[in-house]
Chain A
Amino acid sequence: MSIGSNLERVLKSGAFAVTSECGPPRGADPEVIRKKGAYLKGHVDAVNVTDNQTSVVRMSSFSSSLILKEMGFDPVMQMVCRDRNRIAIQSDILGAAALGIKNILCLSGDHQTFGDHPTAKNVFDIDSMQLIQCVRQMTEEGKFLSGEEIEGRPDLFVGCAENPFADPFEIRAMRLAKKVKAGAQFVQTQSVFHIEKFEKWMEMVRDLGVHEKVYILAGITPMKSIGMARYMKNSVPGMDVPDELIERMKETPKEKQAEEGIKICVETIERVRKMKGVAGVHIMAIEWESKVPEIVEAAGLYPRP
């Protein structure tokens, strides 16, 4: 009998879940993953592995997930629709499940114009909503998208992402409802900086009763410096960093900014934790994985169940 998803176990137990993220390297050195993983050890319930994030070529999510799995982590393999058609998608799902990956996160993927190969052709054969449906059809019904039977059904805990801060705001809760209808079992949100807006979104989510059907993990990103805060506000698609936070970082002396960034992040965790329907946090410490244990401990979320 194989062991199921640890993330699913924690969420089902009712404990407040903590997940983090590991961006694969731009090369073939597995040590980079192992080093990042070592920081997170014991402090998180699962680790997301990004899939050529911002359309920059990196080691595949699949193989990086395996390296983390060998280290004893419960990886969440991210999969984007930008680079694979339905044939490659289903094939990778079978392969991942065969090698013991237990979680998948279904994403559309950033457009390739953001990345290092802007002249590439994109795929987008199916979208993230349809990818959720596809994985659930494979795991629940044991059928391919074509309707044909799968011999040896994959077993995966299926997640999605949602951005409460993107436009049009009024449909963002409905969009999550749609993803849940498609079969999403957990959702990780875009990084929460604008807490009031997130609260408003959660209210809309609760009005639709969606929080009772899906585990919601609020995205959390610590800011290293005022530079990073400004960059996220202005240059990252779908990020909403309010001016007060920018001001707060700006007023902090340079050498204290990282500390302040961590403080803001811990405060955010404490606030979202109080919101009804938030089942955990997903900490995205971009190239700052070493700080995750400190954040988890400061937020009173250590030890992990």
Chain B
Amino acid sequence: MIVANRKPFEEIIEMLKPYTRILLLGCNECVTVCATGGTKEVAVLASEIRLFRQKEGRPVEIKEFTLERNCDPEYVDALKPFINDYDVVMSMACGCGIQFVGEHYRNKIVLPAVNTTFDGVTEKHGVWTERCQGCGDCVLDKTLGVCPVTRCAKSIFNGPCGGSRDGKCEIDKETPCAWQLIVDRYKEMDMLYKYLEIQPVKDWSTSRDGGPRKRMREDLTI
């Protein structure tokens, strides 16, 4: 899932300064699962904004609305009947959703209420961690399921570097060293010999470095 964090309240309030009629959008997908931008979080933020602006003597009117998905045209269309009743849209969806809604309603500004952070998992209740950077050429077969691109702070393909200590990465004592995890996997699967294979220089053109990416299925296009 895509994991996001709510922006600091001061930043949100600053962005909303010029506006009084606000459409506050949530999303029922990833940001709901990571407890950042679902119906619940939209309600909490809406009341914080109302309270603040009330105290300031500049009350706002906020419509709370959570789309099924913000990244799909058929759901985004649901905003059509009422979006023009508002001065501005503030979205708690991920960066994709924020942009996509903006692309569909070009007369509106869509402001981000969250910082979209990474593609990750719920490691345990209340803890989300990153797993994939969408490099476009997956090597998880070679590293037995641990991503070196994402989980190694240096994206090293032939690790671990000299900073690996007690299973942790040199950047901090909380972050596991990806290459310790990879070596552990090799050992668990009795495949330590694989460690001796030198991973060749990576082709990054399938990654962000190659420019914005696009996927097309002719059979599905209308």
The chain A residues found within 8 Å of chain B, CB to CB, are: 81-82, 86, 108-111, 113-114, 122, 124-130, 133-134, 145, 161-163, 166-168, 170-171, 174-175, 177-178, 181-182, 190, 237-238
The distance in angstroms between the C-alpha atoms of A175 and B198, with both chains bound, is 10
- Please state if A182 and B171 are interface contacts (CB–CB under 8 Å): no
Given A111-B171, A130-B200, 19 additional A-B pairs, CB 8 A: A108-B154, A108-B161, A110-B163, A126-B201, A127-B154, A127-B157, A129-B158, A129-B199, A133-B201, A163-B162, A166-B160, A167-B160, A171-B183, A171-B192, A178-B198, A182-B198, A237-B162, A237-B163, A238-B162
4 nearest A-B pairs in the assembled complex, by CB-CB distance = A163-B162, A129-B158, A237-B163, A237-B170
Closest to B159 in A: A127
Known interface pairs A111-B154, A130-B200, A133-B198. Does A168 touch B183 (Cβ–Cβ under 8 Å)?
Answer: yes
The distance in angstroms between the C-alpha atoms of A128 and B164, with both chains bound, is 15
Please measure, in the bound complex, the distance between the C-alpha atom of A224 and the C-alpha atom of B163, giving whole angstroms: 23
Cα-based distance from A161 to B163 in the complex (angstroms): 12
Partner of B177, one of A108, A129, A167, A182: A167
Asked whether A237 and B165 contact (CB < 8 A) given A171-B183, A171-B195, the answer is: yes
Tell me, yes or no, whether B36 is within 8 Å of chain A by CB.
no
Contact pattern, B 148-170, Cβ under 8 Å of A = 1, otherwise 0: 00000111111111111111001
List which B182-215 residues lie within 8 A (CB) of chain A. 183-184, 192, 195-196, 198-202, 204
Distance from A167 Cβ to chain B, minimum over Cβ atoms (Å): 5
A-B contact pairs, 20 of them (CB 8 A): A108-B154, A111-B154, A114-B170, A124-B154, A124-B156, A125-B204, A127-B157, A127-B159, A128-B161, A130-B157, A130-B158, A130-B198, A167-B177, A170-B183, A171-B183, A178-B158, A178-B195, A182-B198, A237-B162, A238-B165
Contact B201 A86 (CB under 8 A): yes
Mostly, the B contact residues are: loop
B155 touches A124 (CB 8 A): yes
The answer, among A161, A175, A238, for a CB contact under 8 Å with B170, is A238
User: Are A166 and B165 within 8 A (Cβ)?
Assistant: yes
- Tell which of B155, B162, B180 has the most Cβ of chain A within 10 Å: B162
Selected from A130, A161, A178, the residue in CB contact (under 8 A) with B196 is: A178
Query: Bound state CA distance, A167 and B164, in angstroms?
Result: 5
Do A130 and B162 touch (CB < 8 A)?
Answer: no
Size class of the contact patch on chain B: 20 to 34
B179 to chain A: closest residue by CB: A168
In the assembled complex, the CB of A179 is this many whole angstroms from the nearest CB of chain B, namely: 9
Report A-chain residues with C-beta under 8 Å of the C-beta of B171.
Answer: 111, 113
Taking the nearest CB of chain B, how far is it from the CB of A235, in angstroms?
A: 11
Known contacts A168-B180, A171-B195; is-contact A127 B156 (Cβ 8 Å): yes
| Contact residues of B between 79 and 130, Cβ < 8 Å to A | none
Q: Which residues of B contact A134 (CB under 8 A)?
A: 201
Residues of A within 8 A of B154 (CB): 81-82, 108-109, 111, 122, 124, 127
Q: Which residue of A lies closest to B165 (CB)?
A: A167
Residue contact A161 to B162, C-beta cutoff 8 Å: yes
Provide the residues of chain B in CB contact with A110, threshold 8 Å.
Answer: 163, 170
State the CA gap A86–B200 with chains docked (Å): 13
Residues from 25 to 45 in B contacting A, C-beta threshold 8 Å: none
Residues of A within 8 A of B199 (CB): 129-130
Measured in the bound complex, the distance between the Cα atoms of B154 and A108 in whole Å is: 8
A129 contacts B198, CB within 8 Å?
yes
A178 to B159, CA, bound (A): 10
Known contacts A125-B204, A129-B198, A178-B198; is A111 also within 8 Å of B163 by CB? yes
